[in-house]
Structure 1
Amino acid sequence: MIRYPRSIRGRSTVATSLLALAILAVLGITGCLAIRYALGEHVYVQAEHEAGEWTTVARTTPPGALRDPLPVFAEINLVQIVDSHGAVLAASPDAHGLPALSQVRPAPDDPVQRLSDGRHMVVAIRSGPTPDAPIVLAGLAVPMLLRGHHLELLLGALALLLTACAGAITWVAIGRALRPVEAVRAHMAQITLNDLSRRMPIPPGEDEIADLVRTANHTLARLDEAVAQQRRFAATTSHELRNPIAGLRAQLEDALEHPEDTDARQTLRTALNTTDRLDAIIGDLLAQARLRADSPHELVNLNELIAQETNRTNATHTHDDTGGHDGSRPGVPVRFRADGDVWVCGSSIQLIRALANLVGNARRHAATGVDITLTATGGQAVIAVTDDGPGIAPGDRQRVFERFTRLDDGRRLDSGGSGLGLAITRDIAAGHRGTLTLEDSPTGARFVLRIPQLDPHDDGADHDPDLARTTEEART
């Protein structure tokens, strides 16, 4: 069973060597045949010409009167005139004393024949049609390179040498090309979950390996930030959960140890409130974790979505004297105004959750009502939720978006809140390629959610290829 090299360098070298050997083998065979044919054709043509010149002499001159040795001035140095019995009548100086170069006698109807015995290349021409007409033999000794398989062996050795050179060049070239990859592998092996701050050195140039290293460094940076966020989130979550659990435990232990000094009903009511707070925190944590998972995106008409949620909110809180589960107060109306239909590509469930968080927060702090406006500006859908409450101080406008952050006014109005609503809403905005900000308002607080607008009849490819791809997926 053939085992191929595991490394790219080895496989590339073997592939290049085999390809070079195949090409050189074809070239060698073709070259060998071409050399033998070209050389043979050249020798036979010259020999035929030389023999043809001596044919007349052999036909018209009596055997005893032939000049011996025959004067030869061409490159064909072997010339013999042979009688009908195969005896040499006359020969050139180089052929003098040699036996007849060939015993073949051409027939009268085919007076010219080309012959080769492996040592000589000869042309035999019959000087006349009579049976005793002399035969003229002219030719050359076969060069040593063309005897046997010397030419094939030479070309084969040359092909193997060139194949080895091609393999060596490929081995060195691939090794140099993969040297940065080995450096990247060594640095990647040193990166652990506890030390994601390391970055790989970017090799010089603008080739594919340099682009790969840059992309890997960007990925490591995002991974480092994500891990840091998760650690901060885990630390904050454990702290926020530990406090109510510790308080609940202390209350229950005190009730067990001192039942005579404890109001059982009040203790149970406090424990229930604490449980509600824990349930709210865990629910919001699960909601935030689900934002990281893929959710189906679709074409969403914000005008219809907000109108339906506004009507549902007003109907629910009109018949609920205790307020909503989000801590909002009963009897606070929500008014909605839109300039027209505004379309976006997103998750209806997540957008409803974001709107519910903003409206619930506004109703908790509103004095008389909450206003929602929907406009389209600069290619973005702009949802503004404004209340007429006390507002938020400028120094706290960034803090309210942090996880588990609850201002004093919020704690007073909703003691069971988790402090994750606005953080979840900002994550939803980011997941829709948008933003959530807190802007100036004459009265109360004004939260503005911006999401890229989408024309339902335009795929937006000229402006944002990623958004166009997401839109096409939503349509299908």
Structure 2
Amino acid sequence: MVKRLFPRSIRARLTTIATLVAAVVFTIASVMTLITVPGNLYGVVQTRVELAVRRVASELRAGEFHTVLETPSHVQVLQVVSARGNVIATSPGLDQIPSLMAFQASEPETIYTTELTLSRHQHEPETHYLVMAMKVHTSNGLATVYGAASLNDVDKALKWINILLFLGTPLILVSVAGITWAVVGLALRPVERIRAEMAEITGQDLSRRVPIPDTGDEITDLAATTNHTLDRLQRSVETQRRFVSDASHELRSPISALRAQLEVANAYPDETDWQATGKRALAAADRLTGIIDELLMLARLDAGAVAPRRVVDLVRVAKDQVRRREGAQVPIVLDSCGAAPVFGSPIQLDRLLTNLLDNATRHAATRVDLEVEVEGDRVVVMVTDDGDGIRPKDRERVFERFTRLENARAKDKGGSGLGLPLSRDIATAHGGTLTVADHEPGARFVAVLPLHREP
């Protein structure tokens, strides 16, 4: 099993990442500080001493000799020593410093640098100095110019820098980890409340909703989206329950009728017209088969199953529909263009026209008009009857499953309330629409599907 590099908890992961990033940043900053700051501090002191030494050397070359040397600030020692080791010029009040003279400059006109521990006076404690020496040609021969400046301030600064880097960095990292842990925990508190509420929601009670924080951030969007999802889920479950209930009711009616007919026939076999009973039983079985077929197709569409598809000419499908219905009580008048190719399932598209024409013929008074036209990049199919029509407020209800209007229930005993919903689902699955348009008299159903063009 592969070990995880980071903790499983988001809070712990973010804390770890923030601490590691801070550690990398502070490590780089510490290394850069240790590389650049000591050199810069020493460079400042060295520059001061070098300027003072070169100034004295320049005066000696020019013959401007002074036994008491003017010493600039931050430079504590200036002395000129002859080739014999005698101090011929020095800073005010400064004793001879033997340890200073032990540092010799080898080549003339070249500055040599070292660090020494010196005491400027006999009773003064020794101090860390930066010392520079330079041999100069004078009118009296070679002389060595010495300059020294205390490094106490530099040593103190470096000491504090080391303390801050090696002790302060761990404290800062601990602070970063603690602050990140607290801030992430505070930010994730609404998520925990959402999780706790989601854990309490069950399939038996989908009315509960997660709390929406008023922070206006991504967690607010997450909570709002979760509630929208729960709304859709609740509606879907309620629709499913109603669907199961209505399906049970629709299936029970023909089964009950069939059972009653068979029971009567079985109870009075000598008085039963078995041919008529068989016809009625076959009609009930046909109705059951139609309901079951529509339920199965609806279930497949709901599950997102895609049936085999190819290019289908809706004009040819419409002509086949009209041919199969020749001699029916309500004639169907076809008005079509030359061809209307659509890419889709032949079975489903044929079922769409079947349902629309069955619905129209059940409600028509004298005729049904079927029109198939190509308009731009779409195919428009219109099925119009001259019946009672559909009120505007009911034009969306008719596409709900098992919905049958009152006038339809009175005139149509064979409908299941699944044909129109199935037709709309088929149109939607093919990237189209199915609506009820204004028309007088009767009702007009308009199916719009994308036109297929050969590449």
Same fold (TM over 0.5): yes
| Distance of 1:192 and 1:50 partners within structure 2 | 87
Structure 2 residue runs without a partner (length 5+): 118-127
The answer on whether the counterparts of 1:310 and 1:334 sit within 8 Å (CA) in structure 2 is no
Report sequence identity in percent. Answer: 34
The answer on whether the counterparts of 2:311 and 2:452 sit within 8 Å (CA) in structure 1 is no
Task: Pick one of 243, 254, 276 that aligns with 1:233.
Answer: 243
Aligned to 2:122: none
Code of the residue aligned with 1:407 in structure 2: it is R
| Distance of 1:252 and 1:229 partners within structure 2 | 34
> Post-superposition shift, 1:228?
0.9
Aligned to 1:48: 50
> Post-superposition shift, 1:57?
8.7
Aligned to 1:322: none
User: Is it true that 1:295 corresponds to 2:293 in the alignment?
Assistant: no
Code of the residue aligned with 2:212 in structure 1: it is I
Aligned to 2:421: 423
> Post-superposition shift, 1:138?
1.8
The answer on whether the counterparts of 2:423 and 2:434 sit within 8 Å (CA) in structure 1 is no
Task: Pick one of 383, 386, 391 that aligns with 1:385.
Answer: 383
Q: Quickly say closer, same or farther: Cα 1:262–1:298, change in 2 above 3 A.
A: closer
Aligned to 1:309: 317
Cα deviations by residue, 1:255-299 (Å, 9 ceiling, x for unpaired) = 556656655555544433332222111111011122222537999
The answer on whether the counterparts of 1:438 and 1:448 sit within 8 Å (CA) in structure 2 is yes
| Distance of 1:396 and 1:170 partners within structure 2 | 58
| Distance of 1:450 and 1:266 partners within structure 2 | 40
> Post-superposition shift, 1:352?
3.2
Aligned to 2:130: 121
Root mean square deviation, CA, Å: 4.4
Q: Quickly say closer, same or farther: Cα 1:338–1:176, change in 2 above 3 A.
A: farther
What's the secondary structure of 2:354's corresponding residue?
helix
User: Is it true that 1:34 corresponds to 2:59 in the alignment?
Assistant: no
Aligned residues between the structures? 434
After TM superposition, the structure 1 = structure 2 runs for residues 67-466 of structure 1, keeping only pairs within 5 Å, are 72-80=71-79, 92=91, 96=95, 99-101=98-100, 103-109=102-108, 111-116=110-115, 119-128=128-137, 133=142, 135-143=144-152, 146=155, 150=159, 151-204=161-214, 206-252=216-262, 259=269, 266-292=276-302, 293-295=304-306, 304-305=313-314, 307-318=315-326, 330=328, 332-338=330-336, 349-366=347-364, 369-374=367-372, 382-388=380-386, 390-392=387-389, 394=391, 401-404=399-402, 405=404, 407-411=409-413, 415=414, 417-431=415-429, 432=431, 434-437=433-436, 439-442=438-441, 445-451=442-448
| Distance of 2:378 and 2:323 partners within structure 1 | 30
The answer on whether the counterparts of 1:81 and 1:88 sit within 8 Å (CA) in structure 2 is yes
> Post-superposition shift, 1:113?
0.4
The answer on whether the counterparts of 2:319 and 2:334 sit within 8 Å (CA) in structure 1 is no
Structure 1 residue runs without a partner (length 5+): 319-328, 457-474
| Distance of 2:88 and 2:374 partners within structure 1 | 116
The alignment's TM-score, normalised by the length of structure 1, stands at 0.73
> Post-superposition shift, 1:54?
4.9
> Post-superposition shift, 1:152?
3.2
Q: Quickly say closer, same or farther: Cα 1:395–1:270, change in 2 above 3 A.
A: farther
